[in-house]
Amino acid sequence: MTAVLCVGVAVYDEIFALPAFPTRPTKIFASDFASAAGGPATNAAITIARQGGDAALWARIGNDMQGDRIVADLQRSKVDVSRVRRVEEARSGISAVGVTGDGERMLLVFADPNLDTDASWLPLDDIAAFDAVLADVRWPVASRAVLARARALGKPTVLDADLTSDPAALGALVPMASHVVFSEPALVQFAGEAGSVEERLRRVHDGGAHELVGVTMGDQGAFWVDGSGFHHEPAVSIRAVDTLAAGDVFHGAFALAVARGLPARDAMRFANVVAAVKCTRWGGGSTIPTAEEVDAFLARPPAALSPTKDFV
Amino acid sequence: MTAVLCVGVAVYDEIFALPAFPTRPTKIFASDFASAAGGPATNAAITIARQGGDAALWARIGNDMQGDRIVADLQRSKVDVSRVRRVEEARSGISAVGVTGDGERMLLVFADPNLDTDASWLPLDDIAAFDAVLADVRWPVASRAVLARARALGKPTVLDADLTSDPAALGALVPMASHVVFSEPALVQFAGEAGSVEERLRRVHDGGAHELVGVTMGDQGAFWVDGSGFHHEPAVSIRAVDTLAAGDVFHGAFALAVARGLPARDAMRFANVVAAVKCTRWGGGSTIPTAEEVDAFLARPPAALSPTKDFV
């Protein structure tokens, strides 16, 4: 079975379905609530496991109720949590996320400064057993160590290149990954405002030793540059009810496809579909689809699927 | 020992210390985080127990992680939880609360419609063993049943008269309590905008069979009307760092003082002090003070305490 190592952050997400966002300090009643393990690497690992891959997560959490829940959610999806470290005297990361029907989000985020960032305990020799690595930018010291070893071993390395409170983290990690897939604002931050999406992607691709440099752009789909040029894979047409975790799911599915040796377009198409199915279901990371659920979605009448289009 | 029964809501509060409130959908990083059991009746019960009373809570929660935590917090403060009912297939109430240094609050609140409101299981005959009852307005069917029986038994009945999403609930409960203490907006909702605070309180007092009708007004202190006229007890002068739960703590301490037979002014003064000490401590309901902590606060130099003033 294809095995993917995910390294990065594990948090606890609470999701409130709101009628509207507050614009001043007031009380807003939610029509629904869900909670689940979350964070980019965590959601990616759960996606990989639910899509039939072997997934392991290297992360750190607090020794608290939220940490218990993060581990339980990962185990329920059969993610290997033997290297999810519990840090004594620290609290797990937590996000309270307000979502409305239009896909916008308001997040209150707590990251405990006592959550030790040390990554020297990571068993880097174990990387040899994986087919690919996915890293996020939220625990940079660990992602750097893992990406460096994985590239030395010739493994595909996928970076979930999103914004953080520390722009330097993104800058240090991008050059280390064979496959870099940015969020739209992170691509602008890293590659600058100048030019088109294609020009930004080309600047990053041509500036480093990357197999592929891409960007996810929500309902516009994914764009990427690789050795054969600039490409576009449109998003799958769906009615989105909850876009929380959709980007993380995309990256997880993409990493699994890369680990399986799929060509770039097939990997992007697979990632688009898995992320789209996630968006049709309320509940953030608690409703990441299984392979069977994706198959059921794909068995819809073909007319309901949007066409692919290539900009090469 | 003085025993007080509290009936009402039990929720799980998560508190994020924010640099500012979001005015649009965005991500805000919190500088601190705390979580604790919460809700008016719950915080009141914890206050009573920490202040040396016997407290029991009659409430209902979900069969979930948040419910486990609510029970654990209550037990740690020695509140009798034998009548905290766990409702299968329901989720506990949860609030994500953003607070800033100025005491304002933004709340995302989820109350599960599956959390059965039935109160027919409450052991109303047990009320005879209590010295007083405190009810909030968030589980009105239970508060009505408990207040009716307690009044029939001649027990002092304290209503924490706050706003809810259902104005009719407040209207039905106010006439049933011997001691009604409103929040400022709830007094306006119930008694109308016309006239001064004194006139509003007099309208409520003279319109029913109340021993006392009061209102808490934050740093302006408490005002009330009783058989001897209109009175004011100023707030204790402190530097507030977190006002979450302060009103609940006030009501709990007030109910304990009433149960102990203290005169109205002494009860108001005690409630003011306990609530003020709570406001000096970060962490919502997790930092409700003990009797020893209030004693230590009162042992400060007397000049630091604000004077009392009577408007009779």
Q: Which of B188, B182, B176 is nearest to B223 (CA)?
A: B182
Query: Between chains, do A108 and B94 touch, taking CB under 8 Å as contact?
Result: no
Single-letter code of the amino acid located at B259: A
Closest Cα in chain A to B98? A108
- Do A130 and A3 form a contact (C-beta atoms < 8 A)? yes
**Integer Cα distance of B87 and A145 in angstroms:** 47
Average pLDDT over residues A154-180: 94
- pLDDT tens-place string over residues B179-213: 999 999 999 999 999 999 999 999 999 999 999 99
Candidate from A21, A96, A105 with C-beta closest to B96 = A96
Beta bridge partners of A141: none
Edge-to-edge strand ranges of the sheet holding A93-99: A32-38, A11-17, A93-99, A105-110, B27-30
Query: Between chains, do B28 and A105 touch, taking CB under 8 Å as contact?
Result: no
More confident residue, A167 or A222: A222
Question: DSSP characters for B94-127?
Answer: EEEEEE-TTS-EEEEEE--TTS----TTS-GGGG
Name chain B contacts of A30, Cβ cutoff 8 Å: 108-110
- Whether the predicted pLDDT of A312 surpasses 70: no
- pLDDT category at A159 given cuts 50, 70, 90 is very high
Candidate from B23, B28, B68 with C-beta closest to A109 = B28
CA distances from B136 to A141, B9, B113 (A): 50, 7, 18
Candidate from A30, A107, A111 with C-beta closest to B110 = A30
pLDDT of residue B240: 86
State how far residue A39 is from chain B, nearest Cα, in angstroms. Answer: 14
pLDDT of residue A301: 63
- pLDDT tens-place string over residues B82-95: 999 999 999 999 99
pLDDT of residue B261: 98
- Total-model pTM: 0.86
DSSP A113: T
Beta bridge partners of B38: B11
- Do A291 and A52 form a contact (C-beta atoms < 8 A)? yes
- Do A207 and A213 form a contact (C-beta atoms < 8 A)? no
Beta bridge partners of A159: A135, A180
Single-letter code of the amino acid located at B181: V
- Whether the predicted pLDDT of A87 surpasses 90: yes
- Do A133 and A173 form a contact (C-beta atoms < 8 A)? no
- pLDDT tens-place string over residues B59-72: 999 999 999 999 99
Beta bridge partners of A80: A56
Rg, chain A, Cα only: 18
Query: Between chains, do B110 and A16 touch, taking CB under 8 Å as contact?
Result: yes
- Do B266 and B257 form a contact (C-beta atoms < 8 A)? yes
Single-letter code of the amino acid located at B64: D
Structure tokens at A40: 């980019």
SS3 B217: coil
Q: What residues contact B275, with CB distance under 8 A and at least 6 apart? A: B246, B247, B249, B250, B253
Which residue, among A11, A14, A16, A33, would best test binding to B if mutated, counting the most B CBs under 10 Å from its CB?
Answer: A33
State how far residue A94 is from chain B, nearest Cα, in angstroms. Answer: 9
Query: Between chains, do B26 and A106 touch, taking CB under 8 Å as contact?
Result: yes
Name chain A contacts of B94, Cβ cutoff 8 Å: 14, 33
- Do B84 and B71 form a contact (C-beta atoms < 8 A)? yes
Burial of B110 (0-12, 13-18, 19+ CB in 10 A): buried
Buried b or exposed e, range B298-311, using 16+ CB within 10 angstroms:
eeeeeeebbeeeee
> Taking all residues of chain B, what is their mean pLDDT, rounded to a whole number?
93
Which residue, among B92, B110, B164, would best test binding to A if mutated, counting the most A CBs under 10 Å from its CB?
Answer: B110
- pLDDT tens-place string over residues B245-292: 999 999 999 999 999 999 999 999 999 999 999 999 999 999 999 999
pLDDT of residue B302: 56
- pLDDT category at A12 given cuts 50, 70, 90 is very high
Structure tokens at A127: 């990387």
The mean-pLDDT minimum among A164-173, A287-296, B184-193 falls in: A164-173
H-type alpha helices, chain A: 40-50, 65-76, 140-152, 167-173, 184-191, 197-206, 246-259, 264-279, 291-298
Query: Between chains, do B28 and A107 touch, taking CB under 8 Å as contact?
Result: yes
Average pLDDT over residues A265-293: 96
H-type alpha helices, chain B: 40-50, 65-76, 140-152, 167-173, 184-191, 197-206, 246-259, 264-279, 291-298
pLDDT of residue A311: 35
Average pLDDT over residues A71-89: 97
CATH number of the domain enclosing B207: 3.40.1190.20
Closest Cα in chain B to A108? B28
- Give the length of chain B: 312
**Integer Cα distance of B223 and B246 in angstroms:** 16
Burial of B28 (0-12, 13-18, 19+ CB in 10 A): middle
Single-letter code of the amino acid located at A197: V
Q: Which of B217, B223, B225 is nearest to B246 (CA)?
A: B217
Query: Between chains, do A110 and B16 touch, taking CB under 8 Å as contact?
Result: yes
- Whether the predicted pLDDT of A196 surpasses 90: yes
Domains contained in chain B, number:
1
Find where tokens 């979450």 sit. B244
State how far residue A181 is from chain B, nearest Cα, in angstroms. Answer: 21
Q: Which of A304, A308, A303, A297 is nearest to A275 (CA)?
A: A297
SS3 A197: helix
Candidate from B22, B26, B91 with C-beta closest to A33 = B91
Name chain B contacts of A18, Cβ cutoff 8 Å: 108
pLDDT of residue B73: 97
Structure tokens at B113: 């419609």
pLDDT of residue A302: 56
Q: Would you list which residues of chain A are within 8 Å, Cβ to Cβ, of chain B?
A: 14, 16, 18, 21-30, 32-33, 35, 65, 68-69, 91, 94, 96, 98, 100, 104-112, 165
Name chain A contacts of B68, Cβ cutoff 8 Å: 65
Closest Cα in chain B to A23? B23
Candidate from A28, A104, A105 with C-beta closest to B109 = A28
Quote the domain boundaries for residue B239.
3-22+30-116+124-311
- Whether the predicted pLDDT of A101 surpasses 80: no
Name chain A contacts of B30, Cβ cutoff 8 Å: 108-110
Name chain A contacts of B32, Cβ cutoff 8 Å: 110
State how far residue A7 is from chain B, nearest Cα, in angstroms. Answer: 22
CA distances from A216 to A187, A193, A246 (A): 10, 16, 10
Q: Would you list which residues of chain B are within 8 Å, Cβ to Cβ, of chain A?
A: 14, 16, 18, 21-30, 32-33, 35, 65, 68-69, 91, 94, 96, 98, 100, 104-112, 165
Candidate from B16, B26, B29 with C-beta closest to A96 = B16
Name chain A contacts of B21, Cβ cutoff 8 Å: 22, 24-25
Structure tokens at B78: 């020695």
Query: Between chains, do A98 and B108 touch, taking CB under 8 Å as contact?
Result: yes
Name chain B contacts of A112, Cβ cutoff 8 Å: 33
pLDDT of residue A147: 98
SS3 A17: strand
Handedness of CA A185, A187, A193, A199 (dihedral sign): negative
